[in-house]
Amino acid sequence: MFKAFSRNPLNTSLLRPTRVQLRKYRDSRYGWQHNRQQQQKQIWQTRGFWYTTGVAGTGGIIYYQQHLEDSPTGRRRFINVSPTQEHQTGLQAYQQILSQYQWQLEPPGTSTDRYVRRVAERIIKVTNMDLEWEIHVIRSKEKNAFVLPGGKIFVFSGILPVAANEDGLATILAHEIAHQYARHSAEKLSQARLLQVFYIIASFFVDPSVLQMGQAMSGLLLELPNSRQCEQEADQLGLYFMSMACYDPREAIRLWQRMKAAEQVSPPQFLNTHPSTDSRIDSIRNWLPMAESKRENANCPNPETTRAFFSQPWTKITVSRE
């Protein structure tokens, strides 16, 4: 009975699908992919698609051209972030940093606070920037300094021994203030927006995963310090600012030589992703004649006269917290 049943061709067909059944299963399993490819192919072939693409592309080019401007050194760049938006971004970061380092802030009026404030205020004055400036010193061994959009200055005490004197500190602060003067933060934010639009368009034509990758890259772009072009520009402007504030621009070379020595032990965060120290020193040497001319036009005393005051060694402080 069981043998006869096993040899029954009608019953065997129930266990082994036919070619027609296999084809139907394959079409139901993979047919959606085929249909999607056909739909995409049809979109690319429509006249409306190319019309829309042409109009959007032309509008994008016009928008980009309208937001091109010259940097203080004459470099063409794209900026579509207003000063108000830039300052708002800086204010948010300012509150976060104050909260993060609230127990490490140098109290106002101490010798360290007065030292840093004196140098910063001299440089701010020659830039003629009307901002709500705030100057803070953070007690930390970290060798770093930065200025947030809107004029919020932070100096980590660990960089003061490397600065060594007021001329050296002026080199550092003038560089950071130059970033604010040239609106480099707005430039980076604008680049991030531009990349975001590009990745959205790319994800529509290529793969949605490209959008996620683009968002990550845009976030990374905002986290990273300024590009080498911006850094070089800040070096140049900063050298001129410190000279106009009657500091000795020649000290900038010695400062970067000390920075280079500090790199051998523990690379300062101030130098992260910046141009090589040797190339910076070479550029500064090229800019020195103009810097000295600006110093002379500002009716500053002879550098040898001010050296006795501005080049006094920095008194090492005890860092209680990192």
Check residue 109 and give left, alpha or beta (phi > 0: left; psi -120 to 50: alpha).
left
Cα gap 82→97, rounded to integer Å: 23
Catalytic residue among 176, 187, 231, 233: 176
Cα gap 186→89, rounded to integer Å: 9
Residue holding tokens 């531009």?
194
Cα gap 67→235, rounded to integer Å: 25
Cα gap 228→271, rounded to integer Å: 11
Q: Contact 199/215 with Cβ under 8 angstroms? A: yes
- Summarize the chain as % helix, strand, coil (round to 5): 70, 5, 25
Catalytic annotation present for 106: no
Cα gap 190→193, rounded to integer Å: 5
Q: Contact 215/263 with Cβ under 8 angstroms? A: no
236: nearest Cα among 291, 300, 167, 155: 291
Distances (CA, A) of 12 to 1, 6, 9, 16: 15, 7, 5, 7
SS3 of residue 195 by DSSP: helix
Q: Contact 64/79 with Cβ under 8 angstroms? A: no
Active site residues: 176
